Amino acid sequence: MAAGLLNSEIETLAHLVTGEMKMRLRPMLAGVVALALAPLGAMADPVSVPAGSLTLTADLALPVGAGPFPVVVALHGCNGMRGGGGRPLNARHRDWNARLLAAGFAVLALDSFSARGITEVCTLKTRPITPRDRAGDVAAALAWLAARADVDAGRLVLLGWSHGGSTVLRSVSPGALGAAPKPALAIAYYPGCSPFLPQAAWKPTVPLTILMGALDDWTPAAPCRDLAAHAGIRYVEYPGAYHAFDAPNLPVRVRTGLGLPKDGQAHVGTDPAARAASLVEVMALLAPLATRKAP
């Protein structure tokens, strides 16, 4: 099953990757093939990240070899990074761990919920944690990473999905990270962009890319499209794709009982073409950081 899914995905990627980008991504794709059938959950170790009065839990996965490594800070969505309880990392995080490790990146999957006694916030109209709160978690994580000898503090990346994508936007807002190291790059999958639109002068403090599904009816594309136009953000929109289009193998369905959509429901699920194209996009963005070594 896993091998069949991998072969299908590689075939899709082969059609999308051409020319110079193919040369840049060839080592990464080869590494993905090597790791694809490995037990993905076994690559990460639990760590504790001090964040003010809280001690956050996180999973840290390190690539093979000697550091210092570039690090991707992975920011979960409203379901949490484990889908509730003490479960393993969810499928999206496991999938990205394998890809990023193969490309030479360490991955810190940061859990903003467990230390606060939160399981999920998708179904809540009034949420006990906001992207602004989580930006403080991000600052703490970046400072914690920068203090490690096996981390290159000049090659830190933020990567978030939905609520985590909104956290990325909040984290790259002016002044949000305080004295913490500034990431080199930030990538947000289907964030909520509406809160930033009234701030006419808002611009991200680091290079930011937003990846959206054109048919997203949970966090609609239009506000992010408008924000990108006036804030100079790289914006990529995938036709026909819904929320969670990059999930590894999630059949499209209507999710009900949600707190924020007006009617309490939204479409979620994998769009194979959008998923494959977004993987190419993200890995191309990361490639220069993967190959540049610390001084």
CATH number, domain of 226, equals 3.40.50.1820
What does the pLDDT look like over 24-43, one tens digit per residue? 444 444 444 434 434 444 36
Rounded (10°) angle between helices 2-16 and 19-35: 170
What does the pLDDT look like over 239-287, one tens digit per residue? 999 999 999 999 999 999 999 898 999 999 999 999 999 999 999 999 9
DSSP 277: H
For residues 14 and 241, the model is more confident at: 241
- Enumerate residues 6+ apart whose C-beta is below 8 A from 72: 96, 100, 105, 106, 107, 108, 157, 158, 159, 286
pLDDT of residue 200: 82
Range of the domain at 60: 2-291
CA dist., res. 236 & res. 195, Å (int): 20
| H-run or E-run covering 73 | strand 69-75
Structural domain count of the chain: 1
pLDDT of residue 43: 67
- Give yes or no for residue 109 having a pLDDT over 50: yes
What does the pLDDT look like over 180-236, one tens digit per residue? 999 999 999 999 999 999 888 899 999 999 999 999 999 999 999 999 999 999 999
pLDDT of residue 90: 82
CA dist., res. 70 & res. 72, Å (int): 7
